[in-house]
């Protein structure tokens, strides 16, 4: 169990601070002002709110969730307080073994001032407990205890600062007992170890700082490194497989190319030699077959025109000896060849016996 530093908030700005420390389930030290900086770094700080600054109520509230209980408590406080509900901070607690739950109402501005004052002094309390909640709850009547800066009173369903006249008016004929020092210190230790009512709720709840789990960080780092290593290994394996497949395909292509070459031809670059052979067989330009087919189609589409001779040279030019009935048919054949993507350069056509004969030199555009 870590040490607890209890800081008693001053009821008025001019009042002095007081403090006490709890160690091993007992009050170990106490003093005025602020505790020294020699306190253990892992000690927990709890602030004690003055009794006259917090209005305490007890009510049977829903226990399903703190939000539901707080909403019901705000309705209760609104009926019992002259302060506008929007200016109040309402907190709900829980005492072991009791159906009724304590409700604390304090000005929201007051809460902000307390927390700011504590922060300026270098303290961040994990909880803020009203001082009457440090007293033991009586089975009947009221108990009074001296916390050092004044006495506080607690009943079965009430808690307030002891004031002349007012206390007698509230207590009436009910029995009143004074808590002895030993019982009071035991009650203080119990209340600060597990506060029955903590005002640090809602907008004033302690914001926990995110802690870095270095063990988890190291595990994640190793996991990322393992994933990257496996990814790299998979990539390397794929590269090796792709290279092997490419080499196999190249070998197959080379074998097929060798089969397509002329028998007895010395093989140096099978792919290029096969390309050269195909070019020789096909001919230059668009090749003999395509060029001759285009010329035949163009001539067949012109009635009265006929081919009387063909000559194909290695440059891809096809010389067509053409006979037509009219000179206009020569132009018609040229037009059709142009539409097929060929140039047709005519020689001089001579006319004899009603026919015109000449040569068209056809080549790809």
Residues 230 and 346 in one domain: no
* Domain termination site, one of 204, 227, 256: 204
Q: How many domains are contained in the chain?
A: 3
Residues 325 and 257 in one domain: no
| 249-265: average pLDDT | 72
- Tens of pLDDT, residue by residue over 53-72, are 999 999 988 766 888 888 88
- Confidence band of 200 (pLDDT split at 50, 70, 90): very high
Query: What pLDDT was estimated at residue 102?
Result: 93
23 located within any domain: yes
- Residue numbers of the domain that contains 80: 4-204
pLDDT of residue 327: 86
The answer to whether position 328 is within a domain reads: yes
Higher pLDDT, 314 or 160: 160
**Predicted pLDDT of residue 21:** 92
- Is residue 147 in a domain? yes
User: Mind listing the pLDDT tens digit for each residue in 325-363?
Assistant: 888 898 899 999 999 899 898 888 888 888 899 999 998
Domain final residue, candidates 241, 258, 278 = 278
Q: Look at residue 1 in the predicted model and tell me its pLDDT.
A: 58
3-state secondary structure string across the chain: CCCEEEEECCCCCCCCCEEEEEECCEEEEEEECCCCCCCCCCCEEEEEECHHHCEEEEECCCCCCHHHHHHHHHHHHHHHCCCCHHHEEEEECCCCCCCCEEEEEEEHHHHHHHHHHHHHCCCCCCEEEEHHHHCCCCCCCEEEEECCCCEEEEECCCEEECCCCHHHHHHCCCCEEECCHHHHHHHHHHHHHCCCCCCCCHHHCCCCCCCCCHHHHHHHHHHHHHHHHHHHHHHHHHHHHHHHHHHHHHHHHHHHHHHHCCCCCCCCCHHHHHHHHHHHHHCCCCCHHHHHHHHHHHHHCCCCCEEEEEEECCCCCEEEEEEECCHHHHHHHHHHHHHCCEEEEECCCEEECCEEEEEEEEEEC
Q: Are residues 310 and 248 in the same domain?
A: no
Domain end call among 278, 309, 331: 278
Average pLDDT, integer, range 125-154: 92
Work out the average pLDDT over 120-127: 91
Q: Is residue 209 part of a domain?
A: no
Query: 237 with 344, same domain?
Result: no
Min mean pLDDT across 90-99, 127-136, 222-231, 270-279 is at 270-279
User: Is residue 298 predicted with pLDDT exceeding 80?
Assistant: yes
CATH number at residue 10: 3.30.420.380
Q: What is the pLDDT of residue 283?
A: 61
Q: What is the mean pLDDT of the chain?
A: 87
Answer yes or no: is pLDDT of 285 > 80: no
Say whether pLDDT at 258 is over 90.
Answer: no
249 versus 239: the higher-pLDDT residue is 239
């Amino acid at each position: 169990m870590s040490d607890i530093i209890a800081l008693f908030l001053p009821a008025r700005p001019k009042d002095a601070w007081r403090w006490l420390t709890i160690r091993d389930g007992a009050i170990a030290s106490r003093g005025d002002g602020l505790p020294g900086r020699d306190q253990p770094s892992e000690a927990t700080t709890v602030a004690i709110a003055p009794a006259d600054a917090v209005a305490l109520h007890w009510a049977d509230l829903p226990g399903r969730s703190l939000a539901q209980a707080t909403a019901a408590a705000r309705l209760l406080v609104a009926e019992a307080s002259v302060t506008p509900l929007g200016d109040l901070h309402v907190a709900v607690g829980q005492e072991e073994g009791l159906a009724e739950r304590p409700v604390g109402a304090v000005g929201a501005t007051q809460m902000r001032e307390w927390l700011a004052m504590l922060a300026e002094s270098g303290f961040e309390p994990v909880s803020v407990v009203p001082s009457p909640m440090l007293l033991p709850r009586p089975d009947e009547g009221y108990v009074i205890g001296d916390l050092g800066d004044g006495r506080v009173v607690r009943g079965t369903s009430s808690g307030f600062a002891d004031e002349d006249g007012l206390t007698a008016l509230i207590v009436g004929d009910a029995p009143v007992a004074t808590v002895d020092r030993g019982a009071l210190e035991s009650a203080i230790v119990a209340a600060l170890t597990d506060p029955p009512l903590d005002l640090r709720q809602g907008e004033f709840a302690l914001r926990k700082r995110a802690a870095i789990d270095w063990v988890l960080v190291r595990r994640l780092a190793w996991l990322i490194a393992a994933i990257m290593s496996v990814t790299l290994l998979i990539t390397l394996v794929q590269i090796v497989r792709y290279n092997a497949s490419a080499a196999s395909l190249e070998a197959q292509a080379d074998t097929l190319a060798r089969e397509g070459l002329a028998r007895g031809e010395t093989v140096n670059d099978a792919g290029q030699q096969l390309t050269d052979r195909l070019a020789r067989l096909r001919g230059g330009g668009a090749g003999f077959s395509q060029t001759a087919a285009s010329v035949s189609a163009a001539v067949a589409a012109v009635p009265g025109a006929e081919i009387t001779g063909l000559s194909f040279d290695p440059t891809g030019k096809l010389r067509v000896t053409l006979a037509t009935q009219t000179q206009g048919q020569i132009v018609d054949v040229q037009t059709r060849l142009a539409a097929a993507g060929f140039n047709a350069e005519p020689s001089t056509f001579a006319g004899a016996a009603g026919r015109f004969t000449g040569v068209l030199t056809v080549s790809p555009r």
